[in-house]
A and B are shown apart, each in its own frame.
Chain A
Amino acid sequence: MKGQHTRGVLRRRDVIKGAGAVAAGVAVTGFPAIAQNTSLKIGILTPKGGIAATAGENGLRGCQWAVERLNKAGGIAGRKVELVVEEETNAQQTIERFNKLVLQDKVDMVQGVVSTGVALALGPVVEDSKKLTIMWDGTTQDGVTEKLPDARYCFKSTDNECEAVMASLLAIKHFKGKFKTIAGINPDYSYGRNNWAAFKAILKRYGIEYEVVAEQWPKVGNMEVTSFVAALKAAKPDLIFSSLLFADLPVFMQQAHAAELTKSSLMVFPAAGWQHTSLKKAFTPENMLFGHNTLYFGHPNPTPLQKEFVDWYVGTHKDYPHWEADRAYFAMESYKTAVEAAHKAKGGWPSQDDVIDTLKSGIKVQSLGGPGWFRKDNIAEQTFIQGLTTHKNAYDFCTLSTFDTMTSDVLQKPAGADFWKWIETAKFPV
């Protein structure tokens, strides 16, 4: 893998082929030999530059690990997988790269896409191209409104607000009665905006009186946070809700700690799991509500799959994975499971429509972070883990002392529902 990784760095097109012998049981099914012998080409769209590069890198590693494993085990229904990796940049260019994968490389399907901005633009293109696409983390939401409710070919990640809904519920569970004034510092894009709005809506739903004393929208990836910290401190909030998630998060936390903001305010950070290893004990408080989400590596009883992956990741990359690796693994594993189920049902290589129908039927997959599946409207259901931070561990960063595990079927609006109405009436587990 090390060698392959290096090659991946040097050349854009990562062609991964397993080391084992080719599974050659061709004539058995009586299916055209060509379909069985040729490898499956899967296009990957992942960010490599700019602020989202770190998420893209994590996802690509998860994806490559999945492919390496399944190729060793004989591929997907007997066909080896070959990846064609293209870069996700802005919406305009990513559509070009998608076109290239579909029209020129003639891939069998596409996975990837981290940014919702890109996914929102790409979604209609996917539907129009009639090419099965499973997104890692992209949704086709404009705000909290689903823009592609009748998607057939485009499979999407969980709604952006899931983490915020869970964090809000847990904030009520852990911090109820301890706060009255709240402040938000959220990245200035739809994800940050929606998370903050969802938090306030859930407080209202539970009849918790609050007063907003500061609302801040730093630009995504903005490193200059001292002014924000000072303004927050002046506002004296009992509780700070923040969905910062990029490199700006550890910078913020460090400055907030130095300004003693972390002492005076409760902290609710649903997306902190993106930066889990950068949030050092030295400046990250205990008992902060921390959205670790799916790849909680300090899990007391991890699944063998999770343990194997995390051990490999740490051994190879000297770092701990976060949830993008899980999203990518889930995308690949869902495709594999659906193809193989459809293959078995049909007794031959399934058509794309067969695979899509199988995915839509809600076939369950064990992913790195827990079980997951797709709903009928092509939106993923996944496992979320959030809890309170602790310093009691062997690392130099925080892990969770107590945590809750929820699947998104209780955290996201049902197909076709209006988010705000749903919040008012939904049955929540807390």
Chain B
Amino acid sequence: MPAPSTTEAARRNRNLCAIGGGVLLVAVLALLPGVASPYTLTMILPVFAYAIALLGLNLLFGTSGLLSFGHALFLAIGAYAAAVMTGHWGVKSLELVLLGGIAAAVVVAIPVGFLSVRYTRIFFGMLTLSFGMLFHSFLIKFYNVTGGDTGMSVKRVRLLGLDLSHLSRVEFQTGPLYYYALVLVIAATLLMWRIVQSPFGLHLRAQRDNARKAEYLGVRVHAFRLAAFVLSAAYGAVAGVLLAVRSGNADPELAYWTHSGELVFMTVLGGFASFVGPLVGAFAFIFLRDWLMGMTEFWRLAMGGILVLVVIFVPRGLAGLAADATTRLRNQFDLRSRR
């Protein structure tokens, strides 16, 4: 019986490490409500929401090489779907609202994606930005349907059929909704991991690196890109539903192009080349902004400055930085053990 090759052993080792790290992280997050302040917990909820959105966005950006500057469109669709379903249709169950949000996003994403994925690079970015702004101006202009700039309110939902209306908003958000969102993040992460590792993910990477060559090899480039686009839209809608349920409203700012810019900012901050980068990015962005807003009224300047530094000096993001650090540590360790 031949011994497993060293690379395979290393890979298994790395996978074990990843699984261990993931389990540890989940454990920490699950225990957090016992120790962290209620305010910190209310801020983790948007981290979860954005983490899901960024996992989707990065399927386009990191895996497929398509930079969307209009992804906020799908968060807004999720949020407005939640508003319409809970406000107008009297739907109470969050599960149904999530499904409704995903359905709405998929319905919009299919034509938008069909038109957009024929292009790459800056044209793709501009087309998605235009679609996002088209929706934004619809929300602003059709006041009688959408409530204009004030948006629409989102009613309190039930989780798994449980009526939790006796809880205060903060109790609801730092307790049941927190765990609900945590489970969603775990599920979304595992699903995305499967997707990225599957032959589908491989095809996406192949077309990213060389679209023409991939086509020669039988990759249906446009179809695969469209599938990635629709998937990422569905992830965005889940995030939008969570954000709207948390704040109790859906407003047009969600669809504005600078919100899309923030999503890209988060992804790059975390590191788009890494699978966990988006999760790191969402966390870092939300708490960085919260900290800066408490520090200075000129937090936009500070955030802009940080973005400049990240783009120039840490292009692989925080996840890349961490990876470099571990490699360096490991190399040192190897050197020492060899001595």
A residues near B, CB below 8 A?
9-13, 48-49, 85-87, 90-92, 95-97, 99-100, 103-104, 116-117, 120-121, 124-125, 128-130, 142, 147, 188-190, 193, 217, 219-220
Contacts and interface: CB of A to CB of B under 8 A. Distances in A.
Nearest to B149: A189
Contact of B248 (A90, A117, A121): A121
Taking residues whose C-beta sits less than 8 angstroms from the other chain, chain B's interface range is 20 to 34
Nearest to A49: B300
B236 to A, nearest CB: 15
Contact of B149 (A92, A100, A125, A220): A220
B153 A147 contact: yes
Contacts of A9: 297
24 contacts: A10-B296, A49-B300, A85-B297, A86-B294, A90-B251, A92-B247, A96-B43, A96-B46, A99-B39, A99-B42, A99-B170, A100-B39, A103-B38, A103-B39, A104-B37, A120-B249, A121-B251, A130-B168, A147-B153, A189-B149, A190-B147, A190-B149, A193-B143, A193-B148
A12 B170 contact: no
A124 B87 CA distance: 14
Contacts of A116: 150
Closest 7 CB pairs of A and B: A103-B39, A128-B169, A121-B249, A189-B149, A90-B253, A104-B39, A117-B150
Nearest to A99: B42
A96 B42 contact: yes
Given A87-B297, A91-B253, A217-B141, A190 B39 contact: no
A102 to B, nearest CB: 8
A91 B151 contact: yes
B242 to A, nearest CB: 11
Interface of A is mostly: helix
A49 to B, nearest CB: 7
A7 to B, nearest CB: 11
A12 B243 contact: no
Interface in B20-78: 37-39, 42-43, 46
Contact of B168 (A13, A85, A95, A128): A128
Nearest to A193: B143
B112 interface: no
B295 interface: yes
Interface of B: 37-39, 42-43, 46, 140-141, 143, 147-151, 153, 168-170, 243, 247-249, 251, 253-254, 290, 293-297, 299-300
A95 B150 contact: no
Contacts of A87: 293, 297, 299
B178 to A, nearest CB: 14
B295 A12 contact: yes
A116 to B, nearest CB: 6
Given A12-B294, A92-B243, A129-B170, A124 B150 contact: no
B130 to A, nearest CB: 17
A246 to B, nearest CB: 13
B254 A92 contact: yes
A188 B296 contact: no
Contacts of B254: 92
B170 A128 contact: yes
A54 to B, nearest CB: 15
B150 A103 contact: no
A257 to B, nearest CB: 28
Given A193-B143, A220-B149, A12 B39 contact: no
